[in-house]
Amino acid sequence: MKYRTIGQNPETRREVSVLSLGAMRFGAVTDEATSFAILDRYVEAGGTFVDTSNNYAFWVNGTQGGESEALLGRWRRSRGVGSEITVATKLGARPLAPTTEFSKNIEGLSAKVIRESAERSRERLGVEKLDLLYAHVPDDSVPLQETVEAFAELVAEGTVGLLGVSNHWAWRVEQARSLAAAAGLPGYEVLQYHHTYLRRRTDRPTLRSPDGEIAVVAGDLLSYARAEPRLALVAYSPLLAGAYTREDEPLDAGLDHAGTPVRRAALRAVAKETGATVNQVVLAWLIGGEVPVIPLVGASSVAQLDESLAAVDLELTAEQRARLDAAH
């Protein structure tokens, strides 16, 4: 395994593995025994960065979420896991009532919600301190200053370490970080967005934004991360839920454009040259890029996880990387 440091403050920064394990389906889709086996294998391989959220996975059984956090709490207790494993969670997108639908009827990012939801996450995870806490989705109904100060209060109290943000416009992230810096408060240091090798259209309106896809790494976010190397970028769904390799998982409409076949051909060529799988090339491309990315991978079996773990040691040549970058 390889590692990198996220965060700047010596009191809150963490050394984490360059491959993160997503626990979104654990406790809802993936049964407890399988989830435990995947987590055990990840730790055995040197993995130290596990990701969840307080709303995972409400859409499966019509709940408000919390199943994933609760399972991780049981796993931590049964294995005696302590601070050596960084567990990241999120708040802000938990539905206000049981549902299977994604909607705008969610908890948001008020000071009251941030405090209460963080406390419930700590209880489910069985920890006194959340290593990394993300603002999951934006909340335009709450003054940004209130959100910034509420997160900072939890850091000051010692119940939260690092702060992160997910699925926000880049300008909104900078606005929040500027407010925090001006007030001498801790701000967002970790960014989590959807990112993969194939380029996704970002102009299509979504449930959260009529201006286009807010949750995807595009040029503005990449240039922001390049200009601010102290920020860590985490990429969720980098393997497109198996769509790179599975015929029964077709690419969604956001990837249906002329550039996709060209980049898929480049991927297949590099995979053939290296003897690696297409999925492994995608992960290696993310990890070793000019803007280094921490891929956040899911797994429904130990075998799936092992394929992703092997990507950490895959070193692409400069020529292969240049070819992948140039395909469009």
305-328 pLDDT per residue, tens: 999 999 999 999 999 999 999 999
In whole angstroms, give the CA distance from residue 243 to residue 64. Answer: 28
Instruction: Please give the average per-residue pLDDT across 263-287, as a whole number.
Output: 97
Least confident of 53-57, 59-63, 71-75, 212-216: 212-216
Question: What residue spans define the domains of the chain?
Answer: 3-254+278-317
The answer to whether 238 touches 282, Cβ cutoff 8 Å, is: yes
The CATH code that applies to domain 3-254+278-317 is: 3.20.20.100
pLDDT higher than threshold 90 for residue 56: yes
Looking at residue 250, what is its pLDDT?
A: 83
Q: How many residues does the chain have?
A: 328
Any residues with CB less than 8 A from the CB of 140 and at least 6 apart, and which? none
pLDDT higher than threshold 90 for residue 252: no
Instruction: Please give the average per-residue pLDDT across 215-228, as a whole number.
Output: 93
Count of other CB atoms within 10 angstroms of residue 304: 16
pTM: 0.96
Q: Where are the alpha helices (DSSP H) in 16-66?
A: 32-44, 58-61
Which helix (DSSP H) or strand (DSSP E) does residue 235 occupy?
strand 232-236
> In terms of pLDDT, which residue wins out, 91 or 210?
91
Percent of the chain with pLDDT over 70: 99
Write down the mean pLDDT value for the chain: 95
Q: Where are the alpha helices (DSSP H) in 135-277?
A: 144-157, 170-182, 219-227, 259-274
pLDDT higher than threshold 90 for residue 206: no
